[in-house]
Chains A and B, each alone.
Chain A
Amino acid sequence: MGPRTGIYICHCGVNIAATVDVEAVTRFAQALPSVAIARDYTYMCSDPGQALIKEDIKGFGLTKVVVASCSPRMHEPTFRDTIQEAGLNPYCLEMANIREQCSWVHEGKEEATRKAMELVAAAVDKAFLLEPLEERRAEVTPTALVIGGGIAGMQAALDIANAGFQVYLVEKEPHLGGHLTQLDKTFPTLEPVVLLLAKVIKAVEEHPGIDLLISTEVVSVEGYIGNFKVDVTDKTTTRGLQVGAIVLATGYDLFDARLKPEYGYGLYENVITGLDFERLAFSSGSGEGKVLVNGREPQDVVFIQCVGSRDKSVGQEYCSRICCMYTAKQALLVKETLPQAQVTVLYMDVRAYGKGFEEFYDQVRSEGVVYRRGSPSEIFKKGERLVIRTEDTLLGESVQLEADLVVLATGITPRRDSLKIANLLKLPRSPDGFFMEAHPKLRPVDTVMEGVYLAGCCQGPKDIPDTVTQAKAAAASAMIPLCQGQVKVEAVTSIIDEEICSGCGVCAEICVYDALSLHARKGVMTINEVLCKGCGACATACPSKAIKLSHFTPAQILAQVDALV
């Protein structure tokens, strides 16, 4: 008996049904060879939709299932589980993408419907040739590596260690704490950062489950989820670590204000950045956190928002998310300690989106800080004082403000060495230069590299609570494989025909996962099936066509092509 295929056409509400005549596609599918049953349904991914498929597998004795719906990136895992629950091998599923590749991109119903039919026919012909594949499992080393000893890395390390797993915490600098060590008080709660930090650092240092490696850098990462081999060095000795999961918490750099020469940073000593201000507030001789300029109390202090944020002219398109509030905090500090001073914040929009932020912004203004709308264009000097040229956009007038101190609210940028780290872990970065999460909504701490998770500002600008939240999420995600003890290994891998392979090594050069190596005795290439991600690059590159990719064999793909042309 040949394959018995079931076909399921999804309306996706109106996403597909408004552009594709799903009933016509269903009738068309029913008539295709090997098809036992074709159905359409509003939402195939819903519970009743999946139940339909499961019932048919039993009722019609289906051996292959085709779902015509969205991209496999969206729901292939869903439907693989569905058919597995009904007793079919999960790899006996084929998806026809009639949403992203059809209904969303076409307008004419007739043409879209015809294309949907062709996509379904192609999927059916491929499904005909699909073979069951075996999902394998690999053991997990029950330890984690956390890269970066700022607040994100420390929190992630603590959570994983508290759950009972051994953690290596690697920090490049000779001390823990990252950028927080340079900050005075938190916003909007005005707690001294040093107290917060001391608590966390102490917990990390004293934790028996945390192996703290300071002044240490990661030099290489090999392996895969559950079994990473990591080399770290403290410049004198290099040691190898075996870990099951990695949390990346490498933090950020501050925007270099000298890249906006119009503000005169580096030229005028009374133009400072927000971080310089924190240091001033810390170390000022008055002992009350009073900010002094050349030993004198400033009369006019101007804060400038969005320096190196939301600014395409310096390649920083995004909002840095922390500057509105740290500026509010600093402006308040000046107003509180120097009540006579005129404190002005020049802004283009105030973003007070977090818990307690708007209330804090209200408080800062009611204490007498003046917010003027307008992003300054340049600063020059007038004797000892500074002149800020801006438009007050609410007045519609160009104005020149004088000040004794200008504080630039510099934003957050990706670390200068982030490309190096990205290469080390084979991680993609989003267009802003930060490490890219696997999915912006549903997998915000995962990466495309299984077993590698993101925490804190290395993924994008964040304040302390958001950083800690993400660190705890990354820790929880990293613990999933550690708790499971075993990980599923991708069943779709390359397969080498040892009769044909000449061992030339072209495939190994092209493989970004280091999954191919020359067999010492046989003189042919072998595949580490755990490392192989099934991308197929080697199969394309092989000059002797000795490699094929399971689930995407030449026969399967050609059958699909034949149906389309």
Chain B
Amino acid sequence: MEGQNLAQAYRLFDCIQCGRCTGGCPMSLKSRFNIRRLIYEALIDEDMDLRSQEVLWDCTTCATCTLRCPKGLDPTDMVIAMRSILVDGGRIPPTLRDALKSLAIRGNPLTMAREERADWAEGLGVKEISEGAKVLYFVCCSASYDPRVQKVAKALVQAFKKAGVDFGIQGNEEVCCGSEARRVGETGLFEMLRELNIETLRQYPVEVMVTTSPHCYNAFKNEYQGLGFQVQHYTQFVAGLIDEGKLPLSKEVRKVITYQDPCFLGKQNKVFEEPRKILENIPGLELRELDRSRERSLCCEGGGGRMWAEGTNPEVRLAHTRVQEAMDLGAEVLATACPFCLLTLEDAAKTVAGEEGIQVMDIMELVVEAL
């Protein structure tokens, strides 16, 4: 009965099998994952057996299929529902299972201790949000624990201080937004985290929450209700600081750079201009656009739980393609504004270009170079 239930819940009867979902799917470039066919199978087979669908774990939930669908369907959500069925049956890649377990126990998927969450901020003089502030900086699990992404958080703190922003962080109290839990099909865990976060966050009398990650931004903005404050990705907030003249970027950064639009920022939330605005305001910097940019940007394969699940055909990596494209442009730096993009692209850069090749940086790191 799974097929029929999915068909009703996700309006699969409306599908005209045009193939735009699969045609636009970044994973269809390297995997047998065929979302149009999955829809068709769910439609005609009441007893569809998902257990054989190992490729379901390939999906990065970049949502290109949803955006391209001419009939207004949401195939991304259908894939998530299919994953839920697998998760409920205990069929989940072991690496993902460990991440989810850590998320449930420690509030982060990185198997790190709760009490170490704010260690990155030690000595930076960042206040806790409970002391009162206008801006809540939501750091994100990756930026809290991953040494590479911590640099982004530190850069953001430096810029905030420079601009005189009255901000605070939750410190060790911060708990994962649950975006990845939802996208791998652990709906129950996501709902639990959401409830917990809403309860905590709504107490703070802040005006705006600023996130490091587009994934947290998307979750808080589109999947949480009743927070009582605005949610912004840092590129939006920082572009605003530049607009208001609060963040003068005076030092030259003589670099040719290109920019990777993160799916959860660009495609899914249409934040295309602000990151470019920041880059254009850095003196000396030359921005060269990738051919596949904005609405046609190519996913780095980091979303949808893929940081914890390799997926099929790991020999081919879209991040490699992306790095190669950036190098073909003559870019010295491939910039992005997402922890997952940063990690996957940097990995790829090491493989494709070696240590001395193209650099992968977060926009914030370029900003602080210009301060």
Query: Are the C-beta atoms of B68 and A377 separated by less than 8 Å?
Result: yes
Query: What's the Cα separation between A312 and B24 when bound, in Å?
Result: 17
Instruction: Report yes or no: B28 in contact with A261, Cβ–Cβ below 8 A.
Output: no
Assess the A375–B295 pair: CB atoms within 8 A: no
Q: Which of B21, B64, B71, B296 is close to A312, meaning CB atoms less than 8 Å apart?
A: B71
Judge whether A244 is part of the interface by a CB distance below 8 angstroms: no
Instruction: Give the residues in chain B near A311, CB-CB below 8 Å.
Output: 70
Contact B70 A391 (CB under 8 A): no
**Contact with B23, one of A261, A310, A374 (Cβ below 8 angstroms):** A374
Contact at A389–B72, with CB atoms within 8 Å?
Answer: no
Chain A CB within 8 A of B67 CB: yes
Identity of the chain A residue whose Cβ is nearest the Cβ of B31 in the assembled complex: A398
Pair A391/B71 contact, Cβ less than 8 Å: no
- Map CB proximity to A onto B281-295 as digits: 1 under 8 Å, 0 otherwise: 000000000011011
Cβ 8 A contact of A378, one of B19, B24, B37, B69? B24
User: B292 — nearest CB in chain A belongs to which residue?
Assistant: A380
Q: Which residues of B contact A398 (CB under 8 A)?
A: 22-23, 25, 28-29, 34
- Tell me if A376 counts as interface (CB < 8 A to partner B): yes
Specify which chain B residues have a CB less than 8 angstroms from the CB of A375 in the assembled complex.
Answer: 18-20, 23, 70
For chain B, give the interface size range: 20 to 34
CB <8 Å contact, B291 and A381: yes
Contact of B19 among A262, A379, A380, A390 (CB under 8 A): A390
Assembled-state Cα–Cα distance A310/B17 (Å) = 13
B70 contacts A378, C-beta separation under 8 Å = no
- Judged by a CB distance under 8 angstroms, whether A348 is at the interface is yes
B67 is contacted by which of A313, A380, A390 (Cβ under 8 Å)?
A313
Closest to B72 in A: A312
- Specify which chain A residues have a CB less than 8 angstroms from the CB of B71 in the assembled complex: 312
B16 at the interface (CB under 8 A from A): yes
Q: How would residues 219 to 242 of chain B score, 1 for a CB under 8 Å from any chain A CB and 0 otherwise?
A: 000000000000000000000000
The answer, yes or no, to whether A396 is at the interface (CB within 8 Å) is yes
Residue from B16, B25, B291, B295 in contact with A348 in the complex, judged by beta carbons closer than 8 Å: B16
Instruction: Find chain A residues with CB under 8 A from B18 CB.
Output: 306, 348, 374-375, 393
Tell me whether A262 and B295 are in contact (CB under 8 A). Answer: yes
- Is A264's beta carbon under 8 Å from chain B? yes
Kindly state the separation between the CA atoms of A311 and B23 in the bound complex, as whole angstroms.
Answer: 16
Q: B350 interface residue, CB < 8 Å from A?
A: no
Known: A375-B19, A381-B291. A313 touches B69 (CB 8 A): yes
- B19 lies within 8 A of A312 (CB): no
**CB-contacts of A352-381 with B (<8 A):** 373-381
Check: B36 CB closer than 8 A to any chain A CB.
yes
Q: Is the CB of A391 within 8 A of B36?
A: yes
- Nearest CB in chain A to that of B267: its residue: A262
Most buried by B among A311, A348, A377: A377
Interface size, chain A (Cβ < 8 Å): 26
Complex Cα distance A378/B23, Å? 8
Interface string of A527-554 (1 = CB under 8 A from B): 0000000000000000000000000000
For residue B70, which residues in chain A have a CB less than 8 angstroms away from its CB?
306, 310-313, 375
Determine which residue in B67, B69, B70, B291 has the highest number of CB atoms from chain A within 10 A of its CB, and name it. Answer: B70
Interface residues of B in 83-109 (CB under 8 A from A): none
Chain A residues within an 8 Å CB radius of B24: 262, 377-378, 389
Q: Which residues of B contact A390 (CB under 8 A)?
A: 19, 23
- Closest Cβ of chain A to B31, distance in Å, is 9
Given A313-B69, A398-B34, also A377-B291 (CB < 8 A): no
Looking across the interface, which residue of chain B has its beta carbon closest to that of A382? B291
> Which residues 265-301 of B sit at the A interface, judged by CB distance below 8 A?
291-292, 294-296
A392 CB contacts on chain B under 8 angstroms? 19
For B294, what are the chain A residues with a Cβ–Cβ distance below 8 Å? 261
A261 to B24, CA, bound (A): 13
A313 touches B25 (CB 8 A): no
The answer on a CB contact under 8 Å between A376 and B23 is yes
Interface residues of A in 304-348 (CB under 8 A from B): 306, 310-313, 348
Q: How far is the CA of A393 from the CA of B36 in the complex (A)?
A: 8
Could you mark each residue 20-64 of chain B with 1 if its beta carbon is under 8 Å from any beta carbon of chain A, else 0? 111111001100001011000000000000000000000000001
Question: Which residue of A261, A312, A380, A391 contacts B22 across the interface (Cβ within 8 Å)?
Answer: A391
Complex Cα gap A389–B21 (Å): 11
Q: Pick the contact of B295: A261, A376, A396 (CB < 8 A).
A: A261
A393's partner among B17, B67, B291, B296 (CB-CB below 8 A) is B17
**Which residues of B sit under 8 angstroms from A393, Cβ to Cβ?**
17-19, 22, 36
Q: How far is the CB of B53 from chain A (nearest CB, A)?
A: 15
> In this complex, which of B23, B25, B64 has the most chain A Cβ atoms within 10 angstroms of its Cβ?
B23
User: Quick one: which of A383-428 are within 8 Å of B by CB?
Assistant: 389-393, 396, 398
The distance in angstroms between the C-alpha atoms of A264 and B297, with both chains bound, is 12
Question: B68: which A residues are within 8 A, CB to CB?
Answer: 262, 313, 377-378
A411 to chain B, nearest CB (A): 12
Q: How far is the CA of A262 from the CA of B294 in the complex (A)?
A: 9
Closest to B298 in A: A380
What separation, in Å, do the CA atoms of A264 and B67 have in the docked complex? 16
Smallest beta-carbon distance A188→chain B, Å: 25
Q: Which residues of chain A come closer than 8 Å to B37, judged between CB atoms? A: 396
Which of chain A's residues have a CB closer than 8 A to the CB of B291? 380-381
Closest residue to A312 on the B side, CB-wise?
B72
List chain A residues, Cβ under 8 A from B17.
348, 393
Task: Kindly state the separation between the CA atoms of A391 and B21 in the bound complex, as whole angstroms.
Answer: 8
Check A377 against B23 for contact (C-beta < 8 Å): yes
CB distance from B34 to the nearest CB of A (A): 6
| Closest 5 pairs between A and B when the two form their complex, measured CB to CB | A377-B24, A377-B23, A391-B19, A398-B28, A375-B18
**Residues in chain B within 8 A of chain A (CB atoms):** 16-25, 28-29, 34, 36-37, 64, 67-72, 291-292, 294-296
6 pairs, CB–CB < 8 Å, chain A vs chain B: A310-B70, A373-B19, A377-B24, A377-B68, A396-B37, A398-B25
Excluding A306-B18, A377-B24, A377-B64, 7 further A-B contacts by CB distance (< 8 Å) are A262-B24, A264-B296, A312-B70, A348-B17, A377-B25, A390-B23, A393-B18
